[in-house]
Amino acid sequence: MNRQLLLSVLPESAPTLANFVPGPNQPALAAVRALAPGRALYLWGAAGCGRTHLLRALASVPGARYITAGMEARAALPALAQSDAQAAMPTVIAVDDIHLMDDAGQAALFALYNRWRESAATGRAFALAVAGDRAPLAMPLREDLRTRLGWDLVYGLAQLSDADKLEALGRQAAERGLQLSPEVLNWMLTHYDRDMRRLATLLDALDRYSLATRRPINISLLRTMLADPDIHTK
């Protein structure tokens, strides 16, 4: 097999509910799993806490829609909020990074909340999931929109502890049949990155590199791989 082909690192795995590492956020994950048409959910937390992962996972099902703040929101949100009352809506609408929304985006999201509430008890109900970096009362938004963030479910997401991340990495390694020492796992966490999706990508690359070079996985191999110009894990 061509070595370069073997060593080509796949893009980061798509976010799913199955590959989300909940740590202390198990209640929020359970709420996301149970989110049904007619319900709304607001997730908040600092960058890296997993809110985007959860929204993208929610929106990965057929008929769902993921929207980010910015130009996309300016076009998509008004179209959804103002569409014909009889028009089919996405089963799930996930709106991310609302703390970055301008006035027009906030107005459109306010209208979408009203549309969600009006349809909640009908056959045209849809689930609405929204995420931002702060708790509802602390959001820098227009007042009427800020109150709507608390209309239904609200969950704050905590950052994973290093122990949670090490446990998750160890579990992912075991699922691949890899025997990684605690030293290797700790090195990955302290010298490479603390983001779980990037760490999972590194683990994938390390597995491939070990197979290609026929060398056991240890810190020396990990250092060599990261210094290899043919390997792109960043």
pLDDT at residue 218, rounded to an integer: 93
Banded model confidence at residue 212, pLDDT cuts 50, 70, 90:
confident
23-156 folds as Rossmann fold (3.40.50)
Banded model confidence at residue 6, pLDDT cuts 50, 70, 90:
very low
The DSSP bridge partners found for residue 44 are 132, 156
**CATH number of the structural domain 161-227:** 1.10.8.60
CB-count exposure of residue 3 (10 Å: 0-12, 13-18, 19+)? exposed
pLDDT at residue 85, rounded to an integer: 67
pLDDT at residue 2, rounded to an integer: 37
Coil, strand, or helix at residue 192?
A: coil
Domain boundaries, the chain: 23-156, 161-227
Report pLDDT digits (tens) over 29-77: 999 999 999 999 999 999 888 999 999 999 999 999 999 987 677 788 8
Report pLDDT digits (tens) over 145-188: 999 999 999 999 998 888 888 888 888 888 788 888 999 999 98
228 pLDDT above the threshold of 80:
no
pLDDT at residue 74, rounded to an integer: 76
Dihedral sign from CA coordinates of 36, 37, 39, 41: positive
pLDDT at residue 11, rounded to an integer: 52
- Virtual CA dihedral for 160, 161, 167, 169, nearest 10 degrees? 60
Give the rounded distance of the alpha carbon of 23 from its chain centre.
Answer: 14
Domains 23-156 and 161-227 share a fold: no
- Given a contact cutoff of 8 angstroms between Cβ atoms, the answer to whether 158 and 45 are in contact is yes
Question: Which has the closest alpha carbon to 74: 42, 106, 40, 110?
Answer: 106
